Homo-oligomer: A and B are copies of this chain.
Protein backbone atom coordinates (compact mmCIF):
# COMPACT_ATOMS: atom_id res chain seq x y z
CA UNK A 1 0.00 0.00 0.00
CA UNK A 2 1.04 3.55 -0.60
CA UNK A 3 0.76 6.82 1.21
CA UNK A 4 -1.85 8.97 -0.56
CA UNK A 5 -3.51 9.68 2.80
CA UNK A 6 -0.40 11.50 4.10
CA UNK A 7 -0.57 13.99 1.28
CA UNK A 8 -4.34 14.55 1.60
CA UNK A 9 -3.89 15.29 5.30
CA UNK A 10 -1.27 17.99 4.61
CA UNK A 11 -3.24 19.64 1.78
CA UNK A 12 -4.21 23.32 2.25
CA UNK A 13 -7.72 22.67 0.87
CA UNK A 14 -10.45 20.40 2.17
CA UNK A 15 -11.45 17.39 0.09
CA UNK A 16 -15.20 17.13 -0.57
CA UNK A 17 -14.91 13.37 -0.21
CA UNK A 18 -13.87 11.53 2.95
CA UNK A 19 -10.06 11.26 2.81
CA UNK A 20 -9.90 7.56 3.68
CA UNK A 21 -12.19 6.61 0.74
CA UNK A 22 -10.30 8.84 -1.67
CA UNK A 23 -6.83 7.74 -0.50
CA UNK A 24 -7.82 4.07 -0.71
CA UNK A 25 -8.90 4.57 -4.34
CA UNK A 26 -5.70 6.44 -5.24
CA UNK A 27 -3.53 3.75 -3.63
CA UNK A 28 -5.37 0.94 -5.42
CA UNK A 29 -5.17 2.76 -8.77
CA UNK A 30 -1.38 3.05 -8.62
CA UNK A 31 -0.99 -0.49 -7.26
CA UNK A 32 -3.22 -1.88 -10.03
CA UNK A 33 -1.36 0.13 -12.69
CA UNK A 34 1.96 -1.35 -11.55
CA UNK A 35 0.58 -4.86 -11.28
CA UNK A 36 -1.07 -4.73 -14.72
CA UNK A 37 2.17 -3.44 -16.29
CA UNK A 38 4.05 -6.33 -14.69
CA UNK A 39 1.36 -8.89 -15.62
CA UNK A 40 1.40 -7.82 -19.28
CA UNK A 41 5.18 -8.27 -19.23
CA UNK A 42 4.98 -11.62 -17.45
CA UNK A 43 2.43 -12.86 -20.03
CA UNK A 44 4.80 -11.62 -22.75
CA UNK A 45 7.56 -13.72 -21.18
CA UNK A 46 5.49 -16.93 -21.11
CA UNK A 47 6.18 -19.68 -23.66
CA UNK A 48 2.51 -19.64 -24.71
CA UNK A 49 2.33 -15.88 -25.26
CA UNK A 50 0.11 -16.36 -28.32
CA UNK A 51 -2.69 -17.60 -26.03
CA UNK A 52 -2.32 -14.58 -23.75
CA UNK A 53 -2.81 -11.81 -26.30
CA UNK A 54 -6.20 -10.72 -24.94
CA UNK A 55 -4.84 -10.70 -21.38
CA UNK A 56 -1.90 -8.51 -22.39
CA UNK A 57 -4.17 -6.09 -24.21
CA UNK A 58 -6.54 -5.75 -21.26
CA UNK A 59 -3.63 -5.38 -18.83
CA UNK A 60 -2.27 -2.47 -20.86
CA UNK A 61 -5.66 -0.76 -21.09
CA UNK A 62 -6.33 -1.26 -17.37
CA UNK A 63 -2.91 0.20 -16.59
CA UNK A 64 -3.62 3.31 -18.67
CA UNK A 65 -7.04 3.90 -17.10
CA UNK A 66 -5.70 3.32 -13.56
CA UNK A 67 -2.78 5.71 -14.00
CA UNK A 68 -5.01 8.50 -15.31
CA UNK A 69 -7.48 7.93 -12.49
CA UNK A 70 -4.83 7.75 -9.77
CA UNK A 71 -3.28 10.98 -11.01
CA UNK A 72 -6.58 12.84 -11.30
CA UNK A 73 -7.79 11.71 -7.86
CA UNK A 74 -4.47 12.77 -6.29
CA UNK A 75 -5.57 16.36 -6.84
CA UNK A 76 -7.90 18.14 -4.41
CA UNK A 77 -7.69 21.75 -5.63
CA UNK A 78 -10.73 22.80 -7.71
CA UNK A 79 -11.95 19.26 -8.30
CA UNK A 80 -14.68 18.94 -10.92
CA UNK A 81 -16.66 15.87 -9.95
CA UNK A 82 -18.35 15.37 -13.32
CA UNK A 83 -14.89 14.86 -14.84
CA UNK A 84 -13.65 12.67 -11.99
CA UNK A 85 -16.82 10.57 -11.84
CA UNK A 86 -16.59 9.68 -15.53
CA UNK A 87 -12.92 8.75 -15.17
CA UNK A 88 -13.54 6.58 -12.09
CA UNK A 89 -16.32 4.80 -14.00
CA UNK A 90 -13.91 4.11 -16.88
CA UNK A 91 -11.35 2.78 -14.40
CA UNK A 92 -13.93 0.56 -12.72
CA UNK A 93 -14.95 -0.93 -16.08
CA UNK A 94 -11.32 -1.54 -17.09
CA UNK A 95 -10.61 -3.27 -13.76
CA UNK A 96 -13.73 -5.42 -14.07
CA UNK A 97 -12.92 -6.66 -17.56
CA UNK A 98 -9.18 -7.12 -16.95
CA UNK A 99 -9.76 -8.80 -13.58
CA UNK A 100 -12.21 -11.27 -15.15
CA UNK A 101 -9.68 -12.16 -17.86
CA UNK A 102 -6.79 -12.60 -15.40
CA UNK A 103 -9.01 -14.77 -13.20
CA UNK A 104 -9.34 -17.27 -16.07
CA UNK A 105 -5.58 -17.84 -15.95
CA UNK A 106 -5.20 -17.55 -12.17
CA UNK A 107 -5.12 -21.31 -11.66
CA UNK A 108 -1.96 -21.91 -13.67
CA UNK A 109 -0.25 -18.50 -13.70
CA UNK A 110 0.51 -16.91 -10.34
CA UNK A 111 1.04 -13.42 -11.85
CA UNK A 112 -2.51 -13.49 -13.23
CA UNK A 113 -3.83 -14.51 -9.81
CA UNK A 114 -2.07 -11.58 -8.12
CA UNK A 115 -3.23 -9.25 -10.90
CA UNK A 116 -6.84 -10.41 -10.68
CA UNK A 117 -6.75 -9.53 -6.98
CA UNK A 118 -5.30 -6.07 -7.67
CA UNK A 119 -8.01 -5.42 -10.30
CA UNK A 120 -10.75 -6.57 -7.91
CA UNK A 121 -9.42 -4.38 -5.09
CA UNK A 122 -9.23 -1.37 -7.41
CA UNK A 123 -12.72 -2.03 -8.77
CA UNK A 124 -14.11 -2.07 -5.22
CA UNK A 125 -12.26 1.10 -4.26
CA UNK A 126 -13.65 2.82 -7.39
CA UNK A 127 -17.18 1.70 -6.47
CA UNK A 128 -16.77 2.95 -2.89
CA UNK A 129 -15.58 6.31 -4.22
CA UNK A 130 -18.45 6.57 -6.71
CA UNK A 131 -20.84 6.00 -3.79
CA UNK A 132 -19.13 8.83 -1.86
CA UNK A 133 -18.81 11.42 -4.65
CA UNK A 134 -21.01 14.52 -4.16
CA UNK A 135 -24.10 14.34 -6.43
Would you call B38 and A7 a contact (CB within 8 A)? yes
Q: A70 and B1 in contact (CB under 8 A), knowing A61-B83, A75-B41?
A: no
Q: Bound complex: CA of A12 vs CA of B45, how far in Å?
A: 6
Size of the A side of the interface (Cβ < 8 Å), in residues, is 70
Q: A44 and B38 in contact (CB under 8 A), knowing A6-B114, A30-B30, A110-B10?
A: no
The prevalent SS among residues of A at the interface is: helix
Would you call B41 and A76 a contact (CB within 8 A)? yes
Would you call A57 and B78 a contact (CB within 8 A)? yes
Q: Which of A1-27 contact B (CB under 8 A)?
A: 1-4, 6-8, 10-13, 26
Would you call A41 and B74 a contact (CB within 8 A)? yes
Residues on B with beta carbons closer than 8 Å to the beta carbon of A44: 53, 56-57, 77
For A48, give the chain B residue with the smallest CB separation: B50
Q: Which residues of A contact B (CB under 8 A)?
A: 1-4, 6-8, 10-13, 26, 30-31, 33-35, 37-39, 41-42, 44-47, 49-50, 53-54, 56-58, 60-65, 67-68, 70-72, 74-80, 82-84, 86-87, 89-90, 92-94, 97-98, 109-111, 113-115, 118
